[in-house]
Structure 1
Amino acid sequence: MHIGNKIRELVKEKGLAVTEFAKKINYSRRNAYVIFSRKSIDTAVLKKIGEVLEYDFFKYYIKEDITSKAEEPAPKYNRQLKDYETKIEALSSEIKYLKEINDLLKEKLKKKK
């Protein structure tokens, strides 16, 4: 997405003159046109522009970021998960074994009484 084009489009939709828009974001008219030509923009400036135009520009970036992360495999976490599953299995076996020992000891104590 060309962020400058989107900003220009919204300024037009809001019926703002470029001079008025520039004044609201504390920029010169000339620098407003520079913003319109930009493919990317500083987040602080984009936040200010979003407030002035009452528009959330960050939704485009969040959507892209979430989509890309959801589709990426996580080999590091898959490895950790496998390790934890192995540990859980070993601990479950140990618990079962200790319960058997505990039951045998209880039986032995009952016989002594």
Structure 2
Amino acid sequence: MGYVEIGPKIKEVFDHRQMKLTDFADELGTVRQNVYRIFRKRHLDTGLLLRISQVLNHDFFQYYSNEPAQTDKNGNHSSETEYQRQLELSRKEIDYLRRIIKLMEEKSVLIR
């Protein structure tokens, strides 16, 4: 697989989704100017790329895979549901970890 410039791929999917730039920026927790920078980036932090994948409901990590992307008759990636399942599991894990952190913070207050 060749070199991937992820910013233009994100822009392409963003344009296809016909989402407002301001809404996209808000969902990412950033400002419009940073979104324009993202569209020009060659590389992105995986955490940010995961968040963008969630917001745009698109697996951008597939562009880094050596496996060819398979599409169904509608042009959707056949593994898209698997990625959605993985994203949902990741969200649940993050929620679980946040609860653990909160409990640990509460215990630390009691110990003091």
Counting only pairs closer than 5 Å after superposition, residues 12-91 of structure 1 correspond to structure 2 as 12-63=15-66
Aligned length: 64
Q: Tell me, what secondary structure is at the counterpart of 2:66?
A: helix
Pick the structure with more helix per residue: 1
Q: Tell me, what secondary structure is at the counterpart of 1:63?
A: coil
After TM superposition, give the deviation of residue 53 of structure 1 in Å: 0.6
Give the TM-score normalised by the residue count of structure 2.
Answer: 0.54
Amino acid at match of 2:7: G
Computing the radius of gyration from Cα coordinates, the structure with the larger value is 1
Give the TM-score normalised by the residue count of structure 1.
Answer: 0.54
Q: Measure the CA separation in 1 of the matches of 2:22 and 2:31.
A: 8
After TM superposition, give the deviation of residue 62 of structure 1 in Å: 2.4
Q: Measure the CA separation in 2 of the matches of 1:2 and 1:62.
A: 14
Alignment RMSD (CA, Å): 1.2
Q: Measure the CA separation in 1 of the matches of 2:28 and 2:58.
A: 14
Provide structure 2 residue ranges, at least 5 long, that are not aligned to the other structure.
68-112
Q: Measure the CA separation in 1 of the matches of 2:44 and 2:16.
A: 20
> Once the two structures are aligned, what percentage of the paired residues are identical?
39
CA deviations over 1:15-62 (Å, ceiling 9, x no partner) = 111111111111100000010110110000000000011111111212
| Bigger relative contact order (CA 8 A; separation at least 6) | 2
